[in-house]
Structure 1
Amino acid sequence: MSAANLQEEDKRIPLKDNTLLNESNLFIGFCRNRIVAIDDDQNIIGYASSWRAPWTESGVICSTLIVSPKYRDKRVGKELLNHLECWGREMKADFLISEVPDHLNDSVSFIEMNGYKKERHVWQSTLDLPTFDEKINGSIIEEVNIRGITFASLSEMDVKTVKTPLYKLFKQTVKDNPAMNDDENSLPSLEDGSNEFLANSNIAIIAFSESRIVGMTILIPKADGELYNEWTGVDKEFRGQKISLALKLKSIQTAKASRYNKKCTDNDSLNKAMISVNQKLGYISVPGGHFVVSKYIKVKSD
């Protein structure tokens, strides 16, 4: 955790808390709470933070917990965790969730001993573009074209004419991403969502059936010639036609033509369909994944 991380977190959540219970009596809105642990010399030896953003799943608070290695096994982490859970209960949250690096066995053991359960495994994989062999996937793009599906880059289109249909596709496909909340009331607005996905610096490949938008993949340029695959989604009515695979192949062609060296993407153990697509393309998993863990913290009423 660095000052830059905290500053970036601040940008994503409004400074003033705004929380309420929805019609299902679940905690929604946005808020945050931070606490540090200090030693006798006023040095910071631990840090804990809880927060929820408008797009967080209803009833849930997210959290971060860090303790200096020197002070582990001295109840510092336990006390910080107790604080987060008490605050979560005060806010009327149902679950506290967090992410634990999959290679830190002591951290995984600590969180499990405190009642947290692994929900899913998340990790990143990369694709080396200079050595990518397009022949591996044969004539997938041509096969999809024969079925009437065409592809175009967002840079070739008038963004104003596709903003609304792309946003509608996002709202439909967001339910397929285990990391996202499918409560429409917590999704970003048309304007905010469009601005994020359709930023000028991004690369977007759109799939059409005649004039209807049926799929998209969004790429975000990173440092050192790398592209991050932010989103790939296909309309439910058009699935099973290898459109997502074709979209990713088109994005690879675009990336290579623009002389990018590498593509990277995140994988979620609950999103098996997209894991399969990435494996077919030859993505290689890299170290540094994490487990998403959760605990029910709400006090049961009599």
Structure 2
Amino acid sequence: MAVEWVRLKLDLDAFDDARFEPYLRSCRQTGVEFTTMAAVGDTAEHRRALYDLNKTCAADIPERGEFYTYDEYVAQRVETPTFDPRGVVLALDGESWIGMATTSIQPEGHAFSEMTGLLASHRGKGISLAMKLLAIRFARSQDARLLRTIHHPANTAAIGMNRRLGFVDDGPHVSTV
């Protein structure tokens, strides 16, 4: 059976950061810190940690299927022309990596939200929204004017968060089997 994936976009020129700044402050007040892969270092050890976090978070994506092997992940998601460690926002609880928001800049000039994921134990505290705000700031810093993303229609939490930020439908939905 075909699934109509939900395609969304955000106009970065019209986006109002100030509306969402309280989420960053609130998260920081509870001890959650934010950094990037560039700041911690794009090392083999950190790539493995990013893979492990992404694999854990991706398990919640409806109909995600089998996750990449580590080597496939590195080849298809990291060692690509669009990967930029500055576009990998990490949420930390102490030394533990609890969340990630990976954004790439596409050759066409728009940004693409690859994955935003948060460990289940830390959900419901505004951390995903705060990471997405930092991802939006990264995209803007790279002169992107649009941020695009795609979701399985049953991933209502992710779709809802993006719509709350101001994402709108981006053309017809994509059918996959």
CA contact (8 A) 2:12 2:140 kept: yes
- 2: distance between equivalents of 1:123 and 1:266? 5
2:119 to 203, 211, 235: 235
Q: Does 1:245 align with 2:125?
A: no
Describe the superposition over 1:8-27 as per-residue Cα deviations: whole angstroms up to 9, x where unpaired: xxxxxxxxxxxxxxxxxxxx
Matched letter for residue 151 of structure 1: F
- 2: distance between equivalents of 1:268 and 1:189? 22
CA contact (8 A) 1:198 1:204 kept: no
Partner of residue 147, structure 1: 30
CA distance 1:125–1:246, change in 2 (3 Å): same
TM-superposed CA distance for 1:291, in Å, is 4.8
Describe the superposition over 1:18-54 as per-residue Cα deviations: whole angstroms up to 9, x where unpaired: xxxxxxxxxxxxxxxxxxxxxxxxxxxxxxxxxxxxx
- 1: distance between equivalents of 2:136 and 2:67? 29
TM-score, normalising length from structure 1?
Answer: 0.53
SS at match of 2:171: coil
- 1:1-302 equivalence runs, <5 A: 97=1, 99=2, 120-159=3-42, 160-181=44-65, 186-199=66-79, 201-202=82-83, 203-291=87-175
TM-superposed CA distance for 1:138, in Å, is 4.2
- 2: distance between equivalents of 1:179 and 1:217? 20
Describe the superposition over 1:218-264 as per-residue Cα deviations: whole angstroms up to 9, x where unpaired: 11221332011111110111111111111100001111122211100
Matched letter for residue 235 of structure 1: L
- 2: distance between equivalents of 1:136 and 1:166? 29
- 2: distance between equivalents of 1:128 and 1:216? 22
Matched letter for residue 194 of structure 1: V
Matched letter for residue 19 of structure 2: I
- 2: distance between equivalents of 1:290 and 1:158? 35
Comparing 133-142 with 267-276, greater Cα deviation is found at 133-142
- 1: distance between equivalents of 2:33 and 2:78? 20
Q: Which has the higher helix share?
A: 2
- 1: distance between equivalents of 2:176 and 2:75? 28
Q: Which has the higher strand share?
A: 1
- 2: distance between equivalents of 1:187 and 1:290? 21
Unpaired segments of 5 or more residues in structure 2? none
Comparing 193-202 with 277-286, greater Cα deviation is found at 193-202
CA contact (8 A) 2:114 2:149 kept: yes
TM-score, normalising length from structure 2?
Answer: 0.87
Matched letter for residue 76 of structure 2: E
SS at match of 2:24: helix
SS at match of 1:215: strand
Describe the superposition over 1:143-171 as per-residue Cα deviations: whole angstroms up to 9, x where unpaired: 11111111112122222231222222122
CA distance 1:223–1:194, change in 2 (3 Å): closer
Comparing 266-275 with 149-158, greater Cα deviation is found at 149-158
More RCO (CA 8 Å, sep 6+): 2
Q: For the pair shown, which has the larger CA radius of gyration, 1 or 2?
A: 1
CA distance 1:211–1:226, change in 2 (3 Å): same
Unpaired segments of 5 or more residues in structure 1? 1-96, 100-119, 294-302
Matched letter for residue 82 of structure 2: S
